[in-house]
Amino acid sequence: MSSLLNIVKQGFGLGAVAVSGGVHPPDHKHESTTQAVGQLPLPHQLTLPLRQHVGNLPKVLVKVGDYVLKGQLLAEAEGNISAAIHAPSSGTITSIEDALIPHPSGLPDRCITIALDGKDEWIAHAPIDWRKLETEQDKSKLLEGLRSSGIVGLGGAAFPTQVKLRTNAKSSVDTLVLNAAECEPYITCDDMLMRERADQILKGLEIAQHLLGAKQCLIGIEDNKPEAAEAMRHACANSLLSKLVPLKVVVVPTQYPSGDARQLIRLLTGIEVPADKRSTDVGLQCFNVATVLALHRYFDFGEPSISRIVTITGNVQKPANYEVLFGTSVADLVQAGGGALADTDGYIMGGPMMGFNLPSVSVPITKASNCVIASAPNLFPSAPPAMPCIRCARCADVCPVSLQPQELYWFAKSSNLEKARDYNLFDCIECGCCTYACPSNIPLVQYYRFAKSEIIAQDRAKEAADLARERNEFRLMRIDREKQERAEKHAQKAAGAKAEAAKTEATSATEAPEDEAMAAKKAAIAAAIERAKAQKAAAAPQNVVDAIPSVQAEIAEIDARREAAKQSVTDAIATNEAQEEK
């Protein structure tokens, strides 16, 4: 990392490094920076989408009818890359169901709706001591707590912040970059944040530097924000961080898209992060100014992420910036801006270069919402019909990542997806510079997005097919194994039966004399029984059928006495057995 440090140290003296590519659209920033950041009043209800960040959806912990306090955890982070959702104010959960969200698809998604009680009552919260990190276990516990804070990248990417603060031996961070460029037109929330809360931003930057162990910090600001740059310089001079590590505000040329993390890193240090690596792989990490401010609010006050600064601008009466609770309706923000003008024909979330049209003005503000623009025909006229490509190469001249947009356009249009992949389609950051510069008005970025989605779908289908093939191969192997096991069992069973038969034959041979004696004994018993029957038959009275009645009566009396005697003997035997049992 020594070469990296040398390059960055040179940057401290030389200023920003010139880079090629990019465009200079009208910035329209002055309109929303004429007044201080306002505080939006409490709305009647808040609608909180679960999908406000990159990664897994959080797990809902509440149910309809629950009363919640401000800052209470409503949904906990699920998995390594996820973010928690908290109640921005106190009230009652009225629904947990699909509702319209700010998304390019215009589709509904799962949301938690809270009817506010107007009390804005906080849960118990307290500062968190972040300075004592004696062991890696201490840091792990601190980051696990940060995981429940709900803080994500507030520059628009919405990537969970606790993931970016993890380091290891392979990805140690030498330089911490604070992204204050805010290059896209119309958006001024970071500009106003730096003007008014520079000291708080530096406190959050100090926390990030401490957790990462960075050896120096760079703050990149475009030269169209002189007030913000001056405020940050003043804050740096009075910051404890400047006494711990080298800290410098670097003013970069106003050029879109210098606010992209990789572009800003290249501007500040001259280092180009490879497309297949993260910035931490080359010793750099980048945070947005609003994100580090959220770190300060969490660690120094115990407040989770429940609000952000949002710009309302465009075709409204009073463009301005407001601190807005997550879940607040866009309509409430527009109303705070004095209401939309009569010719307003829609609303854009984000900037005009990378933003998207909102499906409704009733959708809520989320963690990724940095700006709402009321559009009108005079501000954003309808795009003229696309004409054939004239191969002027202007798109290639303005591409900030040095691609060949016209070639990618032809490959995407002809569905030659593998060729588009070979031409590094996935290096495209979809900044829109090529579309902006195209004289034929071709919506190039839309073609790239289509090609990316098709390639991703094909890759997923291939993965599914490979998985199915592997499962089938495993199934066939399992069937063969079971057949072999059954054959072995049958063989063992047959061998056992054969041995048992041999044993039985041997036993029969040894027991034959005993069987003959038993047969002789049984025959003797049978002969004795036959002799007894014969004797009984001989003792029976003969020729009594024709006897006179008196003789028959005498014979019957004799038979009765015999039977009585037999019965008395039987009774005596039963009595003796009963007594013996007792």
Predicted local distance difference test score (pLDDT) of residue 299: 93
**Which conformational region is residue 146 in: left (phi greater than 0), alpha (psi within -120 to 50 degrees), or beta?**
alpha
- 371 lies in the same domain as 410: no
Flag whether the pTM goes above 0.85: no
- 333 lies in the same domain as 456: no
| Beta pairing, strands 346-349 & 356-357 | antiparallel
Predicted local distance difference test score (pLDDT) of residue 99: 94
Round the average pLDDT of the chain to a whole number and report it: 87
Which residue, among 402, 412, 406, has the nearest Cα to 388 in the 3D structure? 406
Q: What's the rounded mean pLDDT across residues 394-416?
A: 93
- 350 lies in the same domain as 473: no
Predicted local distance difference test score (pLDDT) of residue 3: 38
The CA dihedral of 350, 355, 359, 365, to the nearest 10 degrees, is -20
Among 309-318, 379-388, 462-471, the range of highest mean pLDDT: 309-318
- 66 lies in the same domain as 188: yes
Predicted local distance difference test score (pLDDT) of residue 13: 41
The model's confidence at residue 8, banded by pLDDT at 50, 70 and 90, is very low
Asked whether residue 440 is assigned to any structural domain, the reply reads yes
Q: What is the pLDDT of residues 449-470, one digit of tens each?
A: 999 999 999 999 999 999 999 9
The model's confidence at residue 545, banded by pLDDT at 50, 70 and 90, is low
Q: What is the pLDDT of residues 171-225, one digit of tens each?
A: 788 999 999 999 999 999 999 999 999 999 999 999 999 999 899 999 999 999 9
- 233 lies in the same domain as 363: yes
Q: Which residue has the tokens 């097919």?
A: 465
Predicted local distance difference test score (pLDDT) of residue 10: 40
Could you give the number of structural domains in the chain?
2
Cα 122 to Cα 119: distance, rounded to the nearest angstrom: 9
Q: Is the pLDDT of residue 264 over 50?
A: yes
Domain with 451, as residue range(s), is: 389-505
CA distances from 581 to 431, 573, 574, 576 (A): 104, 12, 11, 9
Q: Which of 472, 505, 538 is the last residue of a domain?
A: 505
Predicted local distance difference test score (pLDDT) of residue 11: 41
Cα 241 to Cα 202: distance, rounded to the nearest angstrom: 8
395: Cα separation from own chain's centroid: 36
- 245 lies in the same domain as 276: yes
- 101 lies in the same domain as 214: yes
Predicted local distance difference test score (pLDDT) of residue 543: 56
The share of the chain scoring above pLDDT 70, in percent, equals 89
Give the three-class secondary structure for 550. Answer: helix
- 425 lies in the same domain as 480: yes
The model's confidence at residue 229, banded by pLDDT at 50, 70 and 90, is very high
- 302 lies in the same domain as 426: no
The share of the chain scoring above pLDDT 90, in percent, equals 64
Are the CB atoms for 245 and 213 separated by under 8 Å? no
Predicted local distance difference test score (pLDDT) of residue 289: 95
